[in-house]
Amino acid sequence: MFIRAAITLAVVVAFTSWAAEYEVEGKIRQSIVQVNSITQEYSCDFTIYVRDCSWLIKTIDHDGNGTIWQREVGSTNGMEIYESNVRLDPAGPAKQGTENDDRTKTITSGARTSKLPGQCFISGNSIPVELLDKGVNGHLWLMFASQCYWGNLNTNWLTPVYDWHASVGANPKGKVAAEWELMGGPGSLPLQVRYLGEWGQTNGLYRVTGTNSVQGILIPSGFVFEESHVGALQSNGVIHGMTVRKRVEADVTSAKAVCSRQSLIPVLESGTVIVDWRLKEPTSVNSVPSYIMRHSGKWPSVEEAKAILKAAQQSQDSFGQIRLAQLHHTPVLVVLMCAFLLGPLGIYFVWRRSGKNAGKP
């Protein structure tokens, strides 16, 4: 009886120590072998904010063309994920700004904050699986912010966080068998996670490369992930053609037992286009409802979002249905701005050419 009580107390103490707050900064690098055998390399800086079961992941990504993207993905209720994508003006020397009223640090040029229009997304998922293969939020969430996830599991069939096929835009109910080991029992972060394939082979493997202890909280100091693709199972039981398709490495540069963000939901700017997966009809295959938020601050509930979308459609002030192929690739505001700017110019050139042709015999 005493032993059982001691074990129960140990579990409670372990969970309580994890039900705290911390903040992690670092850099993540990813290489993906494409279908044409060309390897694509991606990297970005990250900051992860955790308070109890709430979390927010911020990444800063330089796309190689001089454009800087700031992305924030966060959840506070374990049921909805909020995402904000902001393009930062690369003009002039960039330096870190300061936080104000829970607004995330942004890149500034001189005294001018240089945020440019982007997109926001809301999904009804509890796990941040990316829409794009190159996304890194699933990796970062699993290894640095999933401590509350493991205690609620009653199955070994898990969502493969590294696979866009399990995203909200594809099959969010997709599961695969998995095995895992946690750092300190229930309520702690994973030490290793193995996602298994059809024949029990390891298709995806996360493993911690070291740990940091921040006031008694164990946090990875880095991790490595590899996704393997395999061929057919041969008659002798050997799997043919196993190759590494995706490899991820993350290194932590700072870990502290404090969360400097008061709100772990991304800041919502006025005039932002929101693509709302919560409103997507089950029978709709290729489109997702979207609308413009006229006021900054509070993200809309499902009921509020439906009212905003209905009012926008009635006033013809809505982007309507956003094609899935456009998500993350071409921000809606940029497309509309180009149309407004280039449309009159095109009409002008057509008019001039028509005038010239009219004067010819």
Tell me if residue 110 falls in helix, strand or coil: coil
Read off the pLDDT of each residue in 325-338 and give the average, rounded to a whole number.
Answer: 46
Read off the pLDDT of each residue in 286-293 and give the average, rounded to a whole number.
Answer: 87
| Range from 54-68, 121-135, 137-151, 312-326 carrying the lowest mean pLDDT | 312-326
pLDDT for position 321: 59
pLDDT at 16 over 50: no
Tell me if residue 155 falls in helix, strand or coil: coil
Kindly state the tokens that stand for 52. Answer: 């109890």
What is the pLDDT confidence band of residue 116, given thresholds at 50, 70 and 90?
low
Q: Which of 159, 185, 178, 188 is nearest to 22 (CA)?
A: 188
pLDDT for position 326: 52
Distance CA 275, CA 74 (A): 15
Selected residue with higher pLDDT from 284 and 357: 284
| Range from 158-172, 290-304, 336-350 carrying the lowest mean pLDDT | 336-350
The contacts of residue 188 (CB under 8 Å, 6+ apart) are 14, 18, 147, 150, 182, 218
pLDDT for position 100: 37
pLDDT at 294 over 70: yes
Q: Any idea where the domains of the chain sit in the sequence?
A: 2-256, 272-358
Kindly state the tokens that stand for 100. Answer: 């104000």
176 close to 160: Cβ distance less than 8 angstroms: yes
pLDDT for position 96: 41
Percent above pLDDT 90 for the chain: 49
55 close to 42: Cβ distance less than 8 angstroms: no
What is the pLDDT confidence band of residue 268, given thresholds at 50, 70 and 90?
confident
Distance CA 119, CA 275 (A): 7
Q: What is the pLDDT of residues 53-109, one digit of tens each?
A: 999 999 999 877 778 889 999 999 989 999 999 888 655 444 444 343 333 334 433
